Amino acid sequence: MYLHDKRVLITGGTGSLGKVLLNRILSGEMGTPQKITIFSRDEAKQHDLRLQYLQQTASTDEVIYENFRRLISFQIGDVRDFSSISTAVSRADVVFNAAALKQVPTCEYYPYEAVRTNIAGPENIVRAIREHKLPVDTVIGISTDKACKPVNVMGMTKAIQERIFIQANVDSPATRFVCVRYGNVLASRGSVIPLFHKQIRSGGPVTITDERMTRFLLSLDQAVDTVFAALAEAKPGETYIPRIPAARVVDIAAVLIGDRPIDIQYTGIRPGEKMHEILVSEEEMHRVVDRGAYYAIQAILPEVATEPGSRVALNSEYSSADEVMSREALKDLLKSHRLLIDDVDAQEGEMLR
């Protein structure tokens, strides 16, 4: 079991992915770690997560005491700050870098802030390992489909994050640096489904930028599955990509609206938005190998690539426009994750009881 007796660091550990990743690690499916450190700059989110872990609904400052003696410890810090991330990485065997500025409009209006978090942050992790000769076993960078043929700042900065981690295998060969790249996570914070839920409950309209728009879809657990697959199987410099379904955004809205008398309003493409997302470009497809439920993109650097000349798994780019689900299949998918309005309302009612 790969994480057995390992010291684990999750940067951005209070985000949507970080919390599900923590729960899955605690399940023991990858082994029982010696220590898990949640590293983030948001004190309030850390406090809430700490209370969840301690199974308390309210507390005062005493929950912080003995922090570092527990299986899960919480560290306030910022990947942008070399000193604080160096301290965190020095106590880790495995690093999951989930810290990011990920909202497309935010990154468009504050591009340098995206650079500082999404590029300087990963470079600080790599630099700490290289300069302090830290015995870190594996670093996994969490990327996005927007990093493939990027047209927005978020994607551009994530694409450079991927290259920073790939190149780090040259300078620090004792550490394995790999990435995962996936599409829109169902119902994650800031994603379209919670927005549609809110608009439908308010009586509409439901707003969509363009009726032709398509997106890859996967659950948070599928995102963690991809991370764990890369942890267990990826070779240095590889980028792991799940084989996942895609859907038209207008179909997502229609399925969620159902028979309700709610209009759909088209607002036009936002700054930095793509019509279709791509997980593997036509340039990258020549370096893709088949890994069962996943594709693995070989490192672009010949010094790092581990399977040059392997049989290529794709003969075209991997786009969300290639095969979109029918509305019936999409409804089944959303229902399986309890994301239809009635299911969400029922879950919220159960939580209030």
Whichever domain contains 121, its CATH number is: 3.40.50.720
Per residue in 270-286, pLDDT (tens digit) is 888 899 999 999 999 99
Residue 95 lies in a domain: yes
The one-letter amino acid at 4: H
Residue 351 lies in a domain: no
Per residue in 291-309, pLDDT (tens digit) is 999 999 999 999 998 777 6
Range of the domain at 24: 7-183+220-244+279-319
Q: Three-state DSSP class for 11?
A: strand
CA 153, distance to chain mean position in Å, is 17
| Number of domains observed in the structure of the chain | 1
Can you tell me the distance from the alpha carbon of 237 to that of 230, in angstroms, rounded to the nearest whole number? 11
C-alpha dihedral sign at 339, 30, 231, 12 = positive
How far from 290 is each of 26, 147, 242, 311, 350, CA to CA, in Å? 30, 21, 11, 8, 42
Residue 26 lies in a domain: yes
Residue 60 lies in a domain: yes
At residue 191, the pLDDT reads 78
Q: Phi/psi of residue 49, each to 5°?
A: -70, -40
Mean pLDDT is highest, among 67-71, 74-78, 183-187, 346-350, for 74-78
Query: Contact, 38 vs 46, CB < 8 A?
Result: yes
Give me the count of residues in the chain: 353
Residue 193 lies in a domain: no
With cut-offs at 50, 70 and 90, classify the pLDDT of residue 58: very low
Query: Contact, 209 vs 273, CB < 8 A?
Result: yes
Residue 338 lies in a domain: no
Relative to beta strand 94-97, strand 7-11 is: parallel
Residue 300 lies in a domain: yes
Query: Contact, 321 vs 245, CB < 8 A?
Result: no
Q: Which one of the listed residues 146, 149, 158, 274 is annotated catalytic?
A: 146
At residue 112, the pLDDT reads 98
> Is 335 among the catalytic positions?
no
Residue 250 lies in a domain: no
Model confidence at 68: pLDDT above 70: no
